[in-house]
Every structure is written in C-alpha cells, then in structure tokens.
Structure 1
Amino acid sequence: MTVDDLNLFREIRAEALQKHPQTFGSPEEGEGGDAMVAAYRNWLSGTVLGAFGCGSLIGIAGFYVSADKRSQHRGHIFTVYVKQNSRGSGVGDRLIKELLAHAEARVEQVHLAVVSTEIAAIKTYKRNGFEIYGTDPRVVRIGDAMYDYYLMIKRFSH
C-alpha cells in the first residue's frame, strides 16, 4: 500500500480500533485529526501490505526496521488486521508470509506484540515460526479491564 491508499487505510483502521480497542491504537489516533493522518502517511510511506477481496480492502499488515543503527538487525510487524468476514480464509497467514519474505533479506529477527487473549492471531504467528519469549503485563487498560501482551520473535537462520 502507498500514501495514495490513505482513505482505504483509514477505513480499515477505524474498524480495527472500534472492534478491538485492546489491540489497536496509537497516541496519534487518540489525538485524531492531523496527528492521526500524519502518522498514517508515515506508516504508508514504509511497508504496509494490503489484502483485497471482492474489490475491497480486507486485511492489512505493516513492517518496519528500527531507525536506531544499533537495532537495525531487528524488524517489527505491526497493525495486522483482517476483517471479521475474511478470517479463517488464510488472509492473515498470507500477509505474515509476505512480510516475512520481505523482512528476511533485511533483518536477522522479527518481533511483534499480540494481546494474550487473541488466540487465533497467536496460532497464526506460531504457524509462521514465531515463538513467545515474554509477557508484557497490563499494557492496555480499557475501563476496568487490563490486557497483557505476548512478545513474540522469529529468528532467521542467515
């Protein structure tokens, strides 16, 4: 996806934020307006893949490498989301496989964080070679509910 896909990206992110607030959200999205649009433009200037079905965007997944020179051996997967009616059809697997193919030539390992209750997502990541290496407790609070994140890694054998 590119910056030209900003409106499509905004629509699917809005759905992800509404349906899964424990999983999605950034400070810029909390501010809304220009800050949010600037963040989305920045994300889309990097690597964000889109999956399309029946003429509409049904899934997204992003990848970036840290700007810190000391950490450029590490890549990060973010903003993975597949619309509800397209789940279970392999869209998420395909997005992750494509990102990993892109990442393997650039980094030695890929990291991601996933809400510990997102069992289907965790299974998808494990199928694609990720393993849990830690838990970040109580990362997100929504009302009285607290959510832990599993920290996951996939190492490439270079």
Structure 2
Amino acid sequence: MEIKLLTATDAENYWNLRLEALKQCPEAFATSYEEAISRKNPIEQVAQNLDVKGNYTFGAFENNTLMGMVTLMKERHQKLQHRANIFAMYVTPKKQGKGIGKSLLQEVIETAKLTDEIEKLNLTVVKTNKKAKQLYSTLGFQTFGLEEKALKINGSYYDEEYMALVIK
C-alpha cells in the first residue's frame, strides 16, 4: 500500500471512490449521492479542488487502485487559521480493517504538524460509527460536543460527535 497526496491527475479516481462512499455510507457525509451526480463537470471541479493551496487530499493505493481517501482543509479566516478540518474520510469496504484508515490519518496528522499554522485538527463522526470513533480515539482525538439530529436521511436522523486533536 502507498499513501500519496492526490493531484488533479487523480480527479477521476477520486470522484469514482467518492461516489462509492456516498452510496455505501450516506450517513457519513453531508453531500448525498443524488446531489453529487447532478453536478456539472464534477471531475473538473475535483481536479480544481485537489490543487487548492492549504487543502491536502491523501489517497491510499494498492496496485495503482485508489482504496481510501481523506482531506485536510485549513481554515481560511484569520482568527481560525490555527485550525484545520478533516473531511471525506473513506476506505472501500473490502479493504476496511487493514489499517488503511489509520495510515491515512497518520499522514494527515504528520502533514498538519509540519504546517506551522495548524495547531488543532477537528472532525465530525456519526455517533453510531463505532469503528471510526475508535480509530479517531486511538490516534488521540477527543469528543468535545454532540449535535443531535445533525443529518436527516429518508426520515431518519443521525447525531454527530465533534472531535479534536491538539497537535501543538
């Protein structure tokens, strides 16, 4: 397995895995599959996003196949620039439980530590996603809040926990 920073040339592979993620785990993402597929020129949009300064999207590859991904996004506002957010964490189901998610997150944490401005990492996780919560906790993230009914999917509500890791 190889972890690497994704670039515009990875946009199509990223998009395909993103669509899989939205189908497989709709409760884990704010964007719905239906919203995603209705976008115009989505691969071009992804390519542009992958090249935004201050955003880092890492992919886990096996035999040149993208199996997992995670995005680290620095806050833009002056008073928040000491923080970054982790988004779009996903590992394809057939590769889960093999340490890929942990490797991706460790890469994000190391990248953040090497970035002078970033002192704290934030993320949200659906309260019922015990595997993800365990992984985040293992890496030092701590829950600091709960949003009830954060997501509503087909009439069902999902609570989200807010977690943070202070790195400096």
TM-score, structure 2 length as denominator?
A: 0.86
Compute the displacement of 1:22 (Å): 1.1
Residue matched to 1:43: 49
3-state SS of the aligned residue for 1:33?
coil
Compute the displacement of 1:8 (Å): 0.1
3-state SS of the aligned residue for 2:161?
strand
Q: Deviations over 1:57-77 (max 9, x none)?
A: 100011011111110000111
Name the amino acid aligned to 2:151.
Answer: V
The question of whether the paired residues in 1 share the 8 Å contact of 2:19 and 2:33 is answered with no
Q: Measure, in 2, the Cα distance between the counterparts of 1:30 and 1:44.
A: 20
Q: Measure, in 1, the Cα distance between the counterparts of 2:143 and 2:76.
A: 24
In the TM superposition, 1:6-155 aligns within 5 A as 6-26=11-31, 30=35, 32-34=38-40, 36-37=42-43, 39-45=45-51, 46-106=55-115, 107-155=118-166
Seen in structure 2, the aligned counterparts of structure 1 residues 33 and 21 have a Cα distance that, compared at 3 Å, is same
The question of whether the paired residues in 1 share the 8 Å contact of 2:75 and 2:83 is answered with yes
The question of whether the paired residues in 1 share the 8 Å contact of 2:57 and 2:71 is answered with yes
Unaligned runs of 5+ in 1: none
Compute the displacement of 1:135 (Å): 0.5
Residue matched to 2:3: none
Name the amino acid aligned to 1:112.
Answer: L
The question of whether the paired residues in 2 share the 8 Å contact of 1:29 and 1:36 is answered with no
Q: Measure, in 2, the Cα distance between the counterparts of 1:38 and 1:141.
A: 29
Q: Measure, in 1, the Cα distance between the counterparts of 2:144 and 2:156.
A: 24
The question of whether the paired residues in 2 share the 8 Å contact of 1:58 and 1:83 is answered with yes
The question of whether the paired residues in 2 share the 8 Å contact of 1:28 and 1:39 is answered with no
3-state SS of the aligned residue for 1:34?
coil
Q: Deviations over 1:11-38 (max 9, x none)?
A: 1001000011111243897162227445
CA RMSD of aligned residues (A): 1.9
Unaligned runs of 5+ in 2: 1-5
> What is the total number of aligned residue pairs between the two structures?
157
Seen in structure 2, the aligned counterparts of structure 1 residues 136 and 39 have a Cα distance that, compared at 3 Å, is farther
3-state SS of the aligned residue for 2:158?
strand
